[in-house]
Amino acid sequence: MTDMTPRKIGDVSFWYADIGLPPTRRPALPGDTTADVAIIGAGYTGLWTAYYLMQARPDLKVLVLEKEFAGFGASGRNGGWCMGTLAWNHERYAATHGRQAVLDMAQQLRGTVDEIIRVCEAEGIDADILRTEILMFAQNPAQMQRLKAEMQHQRDWGQGDRVRELSGDEVRQRISIPGVRGGMAVSGVARVQPAKLVRGLAEAVERLGAVIHESTAVLSCDAGRVITDRGQVTAPIILRCTEGFTAGLRGHERDWLPLNSAQIATPVLPPEVWARIGWDNCELVEDLANSYCYCQRTREGRITVGARGVPYRFGSKMDRNGEPDAATIARLTEVLHRHFPEAAPYGIDHAWCGVIGVPRDWCATVGLDRATGLGWAGGYVGVGVSTSNLAGRTLADLALGRDTEITRLPWVNRKPRLWEREPLRWLGVHGMYALFRWADRREARLGIPPSRLARFGNWLTGRK
């Protein structure tokens, strides 16, 4: 029997194993200094913000402060899905902001895929970007019912031209997955190598004149001042772009919950295996289970599989250098073997994890308080590759005092309520995912309609 123990665990992510971790770090903050704009966090959000600021105003002094190295967090660990889609409860926010405002938001996000590709081409960033589709598949009656509901939801919210339903045979013509009953294809997306994208973006930002200080931990920030372990930065505009690491900042412990997600990668699979699996168009693949998985076929011919492992660590604790626990690795391996049995004999090459930022209402937000000069962006709930680009452009416009089409979108300056104190948030999140797992088992075993257990789980934490 093949040993399923990953050859490598952690080391930030497979994406860095692919290209190599940075051999050296950029210089830390040398001491007290000033800036026109100080950005906390050198992930996608902070770097996109710096990029658009420097494009608009090359004379600005922009400092980006990073505790580890640029792209250490979710930007260098994610599933590589550049989607251009909205992770909002559309109905909830249409009731507050109006239907057209939510449609405008969706349209702006839709354009982020083209914008990211445009910048990569302009800046010479080779991030293995490939235009493709999302392929969602259903394997039992409950999942088929969710598929139909998602198709209708997309049509209701102006995205009907992006989606089309597939029969089971049509899915199997693209990719061999056991037990498929039907599916849905979503166009206008791209596959990326996330670490290549964030590394290239950091280098582009530096070429434009912004300065990135790594190995510089931010301890706190307030109006006009950022306190780090290396000194103090005084700036009229301070932008917090810390996403899943936000809970580690003093005073922001309950803003966004750091939700854990983990992935595994196979070795490069031989051509005869790919001949049996198919997957020639490298679609981004997702099942329609309540506790869903997300997969991609990489540039060199591996399969990556991601899903929620231990969903949340008590007290917003973080992983250690991207190391998932053994139970999570076992669950991901089971998902890989169930959906792609042809890959089972080849073992697991790498397993890693990271956190995403989740607001209490599961909807992203971006804003700037004019009175204090403090801004923020994040809470992408797992769709940050593309959403961070729109957030960066929006933050840049807000910092420059511009009144633009994107600064009037409904997510701007919206502040969801705080998460509950412990142990309530730990119990709520773990309860939600336990209910998802129970619901999936019942749906698969009994062939029943979508389980009420999952509906209750979503209600429990405000997800839907």
Task: Mention every residue, 6+ apart, whose C-beta is less than 8 A from residue 187.
Answer: 133, 162, 163
Q: Which phi and psi angles does 424 have, rounded to 5°?
A: -65, -40
DSSP structure string for 239-291:
EE--GGGGGGSTT-TTTSEEEEEEEEEPPPPPHHHHHHHB-TT--EEEE-SSS
Sign for the pseudo-dihedral over CA of 25, 30, 35, 39: positive
Q: How many residues does the chain have?
A: 464
Contact between 50 and 86 under an 8 Å Cβ cutoff? The reply is no
Question: Can you tell me whether residue 22 is helix, strand or coil?
Answer: coil
Q: Using CA atoms, how far apart are residues 32 and 421, in angstroms rounded to an integer? A: 35
pLDDT confidence of residue 90: 83
Q: Using CA atoms, how far apart are residues 322 and 77, in angstroms rounded to an integer? A: 8
Half-sphere exposure of 208 (CA within 13 A, CB side): 27
Task: Give pTM, 2 decimals.
Answer: 0.97
pLDDT string in tens for the chain (464-residue length)? 356 789 999 999 999 999 999 999 999 999 999 999 999 999 999 999 999 999 999 999 999 999 999 999 999 999 999 999 877 778 877 888 889 998 999 999 999 999 999 999 999 999 999 999 999 999 999 999 999 999 999 999 999 999 999 999 999 999 999 999 999 999 999 999 999 999 999 999 999 999 999 999 999 999 999 999 999 999 999 999 999 999 999 899 999 999 999 999 999 999 999 999 999 999 999 999 999 999 999 999 999 999 987 899 999 999 999 999 999 999 999 999 999 999 999 999 999 999 999 999 898 999 999 999 999 999 999 999 999 999 999 999 999 999 999 999 999 999 889 999 999 999 999 999 999 999 999 999 988 888 898 988 888 888 87
Angle, helix 384-399 to helix 112-123, in steps of 10 degrees:
80
Contact between 377 and 241 under an 8 Å Cβ cutoff? The reply is yes
pLDDT confidence of residue 3: 61
pLDDT confidence of residue 233: 98
pLDDT confidence of residue 1: 39
CA distances from 91 to 99, 184, 383 (A): 8, 22, 19
Domain ranges of the chain: 8-82+195-253+361-408, 130-190+271-294, 422-464
Other beta carbons within 10 angstroms of residue 268's beta carbon come to 14
pLDDT confidence of residue 128: 97
Task: Report the phi/psi class of residue 452: left, alpha or beta, with left for phi > 0 and alpha for psi in -120 to 50.
Answer: alpha
Question: pLDDT tens-digit profile of 71-123?
Answer: 999 999 999 999 998 777 788 778 888 899 989 999 999 999 999 999 999 99
Q: Using CA atoms, how far apart are residues 333 and 302, in angstroms rounded to an integer? A: 14
Under DSSP, the state recorded for 412 is: B
Contact between 365 and 378 under an 8 Å Cβ cutoff? The reply is yes
Q: What is the CATH number of domain 130-190+271-294?
A: 3.30.9.10
Q: Using CA atoms, how far apart are residues 355 and 298, in angstroms rounded to an integer? A: 22
Structure tokens at 265: 């990668």
Domain 8-82+195-253+361-408 falls under CATH 3.50.50.60: yes
Q: Using CA atoms, how far apart are residues 142 and 385, in angstroms rounded to an integer? A: 30
Strand 211-213 and strand 62-65: the pairing is parallel
